[in-house]
Amino acid sequence: MKGKEPVGSANWWPQRTWVGISISVEATSTELETSSADSNAVVSPFTLEHLYRVITDAGYTCEYDVAEPLVHGFWNDLEFYFTVSPCASWLGISSIWEPSPDLPAEIGSFCLQEVCNEWNRLYLQPAAYPSAPEQMTNTITLHYSAFVGAGASDAQLLACLHRALDVSLQAHHQLQQIVLHAG
């Protein structure tokens, strides 16, 4: 409709600021401003080597296994695995939840499937599924995925790492309670 203004102010979109990036959206244009002096804002193609450097530069300890290929490290005594999809578009961050010794040893795979369904119903991330149900293991794999196909800056990878660790550690803590209620 020529000559008509959108309902409300033309600047109704709020100004948002993320690490090193300021996005301003108006009714007629989009501006993306990045600070060229901020090396954290430089987007480069994603590789596990890049992720390894970001993790170690942040002061965390991890290992990069070129043969697998994967990066793995421990946070809160839990091992996390970082892998990249064959198309190099997705970063996968996984960990294995194991029931504590005070839970009944006879937890079955059906119970674990119920626990995973309950977790996935309540929470978006990480996805939970029984680990190797055909081997009758009483473990749950927690998997967090992030799109990295367009590349990522150091700050974006660090934010992704922190988000994945945060929701995964939350899952490790809360799955215990869900198992107690399901059993």
110-129 pLDDT per residue, tens: 688 888 999 999 999 999 99
In a domain, 107, yes or no: yes
Q: Clarify whether residues 52 and 104 are in a common domain.
A: yes
Contact 95, 144 (CB under 8 A): no
Domain CATH code at residue 176 = 3.30.1460.10
In a domain, 177, yes or no: yes
**Per-residue pLDDT in tens (0 to 9) along the chain, 183 residues:** 344 433 333 433 333 333 333 333 333 323 333 333 455 689 999 999 999 999 999 999 999 999 999 999 999 999 999 999 988 899 999 999 988 777 766 666 568 888 899 999 999 999 999 887 666 578 899 999 999 999 999 999 999 999 999 999 999 989 988 887 776
d(CA 106, CA 163): 33
What residue numbers bound the domain in which 17 lies? 11-36
Cα→Cα distances 156→18, 20, 34, 153, Å = 9, 9, 13, 5
d(CA 15, CA 182): 45
Of 111, 46, 47, nearest to 119 (Cα)?
A: 111
Q: Clarify whether residues 47 and 27 are in a common domain.
A: no
Q: Clarify whether residues 100 and 73 are in a common domain.
A: yes
Q: Can you give the pLDDT at residue 54?
A: 96
Query: Which parts of the chain fold into alpha helices (H)?
Result: 48-57, 109-122, 154-182
In a domain, 5, yes or no: no
Cα→Cα distances 89→30, 94, 146, 154, Å = 26, 16, 9, 16
How many separate domains does the chain show?
Answer: 2
Contact 44, 134 (CB under 8 A): no
